[in-house]
Each structure stands twice: as C-alpha cells, then as structure tokens.
Amino acid sequence: MTTTTTRSLLDLVPVIPVVVIDRVEDAVPLARALVDGGLPVIELTLRTPVAIEAIERIAAEVPEILVGAGTIVAPQQAMLAAAAGAQFLVSPGSTPSLLGAMTDTGLPHLPGVATVSEVLALLEAGYTEMKFFPAEAAGGAKFLASIHSPVQAARFCPTGGISISNAADYLALPNVGCVGGSWITPAAAMGAQEWTRIRTLAAQAATLGEHPGSAPG
C-alpha cells in the first residue's frame, strides 16, 4: 500500500485469509463464513481459472467483506482484478511494470519483498507497507525482528508458511500489522464445503490480535 493511501490493509484484521477457489459456486458461501467468523477480509489468489469470476461474485453478493486479489504476477492481472471488483491487490514480488500497473488501478496494494534490498527499493518508491513472502522460507519472524531497527519505516504482512502455531510470533513484532494465512481455508474443508469448520477457524484466527505473543488455547 502506498503512503498516499489513508486506509491501511495491515490494521483491519490480524489474519488475512489467503484463499484458492477451484469452484466458483464456493465463493459466496466461503466469504460469508469468513465474515461470520470475524474476518471480513479475503485475499483470493489468481491461481485458478475461476478466480476472476469468484471475485466478481463476492464483490456483488457479499458487500460486507473486503475482497482482494492475490498472486498478482503480471500487469494485466492487476487490471482484470480491478475490473472484477477487487478492492485491493497483493503481489508475491515487485517489478517496475507490476508496481506501475497496480498503482494505475487506484487500489491499495501490497507488493512482495523477501530481502532488505527489496524493502529499501520499495521505500524509495514511496511504499511503507509490504507483503513479506515467502515468510518462513525467507527467514521468518527472526528476519523481520532483525531488520526492524535499521529499517523502521517498513511494515509487513508476512505470508507463506504461516500457521496457527507461529502466527502469534509474527503478530508480536512491532513491524508486523497482520499475517496472511491459508490454514483458515484448508483444501479438505473447501472440497467438502465445510463452511461451519471454516467459520470456526476464522473465529479462532480473529482472536490472535487480542493477545499478541500467544496462541489461543
């Protein structure tokens, strides 16, 4: 998200559900389950043929959720997602053309970083909020803790390898606003359309912001 955007994606919920949808008919009930569980934000990844249509349906039928498009890896995807009704964008990395395309949509966006040099490049471009990906593989919570002092202007949404067992470790850090997690929408639950289970997992994740540094019992 650029410094000119007034609403911060990092301060809405402790966990942004990162979701892969294979069946477009699952989009609306899934979004409603997340809202009912206390997580009114969804990052729907553009990894399946139905992703754009799923964004359209959620935007049209579940206005109480903030729907975003993730895995933006090409400039044209930013435009397609915005046209479908996405309200924010997330990319796993950043290039000048990708940043330009996301900026051109006028939507809040979180470009991805994995190194200190990439963080500095985005700070120079006017960004203070970023996705840290792949979080666990790129150094995890220890990495973010170690760069906070020299790079205090940057805040992060770590994604990649985050689970209920380590999310609180990230959320306890001063430079982490939220985390992205796919554990809230496990493939088995999605396949079986177990919306009650997903609502329960969302409710559990929503409590992580209440007690930083410890997972719920």
What is the β-pairing status of strands 129-132 and 112-113? parallel
In this predicted structure, the answer to whether residue 38 has a pLDDT above a threshold of 60 is yes
Which domains are present in the chain?
A: 9-206 (3.20.20.70)
For residue range 103-143, list pLDDT tens digits in order: 999 999 999 999 999 999 999 999 999 999 999 999 999 99
Band (210; pLDDT cuts 50, 70, 90): low
- Of 25, 131, 194, 210, the catalytic one is 131
Q: What percent of the chain has pLDDT over 90?
A: 92
For residue range 56-75, list pLDDT tens digits in order: 999 999 999 999 999 999 99
Cβ atoms 159, 133 nearer than 8 A: yes
pLDDT at 65: 98
In this predicted structure, the answer to whether residue 211 has a pLDDT above a threshold of 80 is no
pLDDT at 7: 58
Is 43 tagged catalytic?
Answer: yes
For residue range 155-192, list pLDDT tens digits in order: 999 999 999 999 999 999 999 999 999 999 999 999 99
Q: What DSSP letter does each residue of 45-104 carry, written as one string? A: ES-STTHHHHHHHHHHH-TTSEEEEE---SHHHHHHHHHHT-SEEE-SS--HHHHHHHHH
Taking the C-alpha atoms of residue 198 and residue 204, their distance in angstroms, rounded to an integer, is 10
Please tell me the pTM assigned to this model: 0.92
Segment (H or E) for 178: none
- Of 25, 43, 61, 64, the catalytic one is 43
Please give the residue that has the higher pLDDT: either 47 or 4: 47
Q: How much is the mean pLDDT over the chain?
A: 93
Cis preceding-peptide flag for 111 (omega within 30 of 0): no
Cβ atoms 29, 191 nearer than 8 A: no
- Candidates 167, 175, 184; CA nearest to 40 is 184
Residue linked to tokens 């399946």: 48
**Residue at 62: amino acid letter:** V
Is 131 tagged catalytic?
Answer: yes
Taking the C-alpha atoms of residue 24 and residue 55, their distance in angstroms, rounded to an integer, is 9
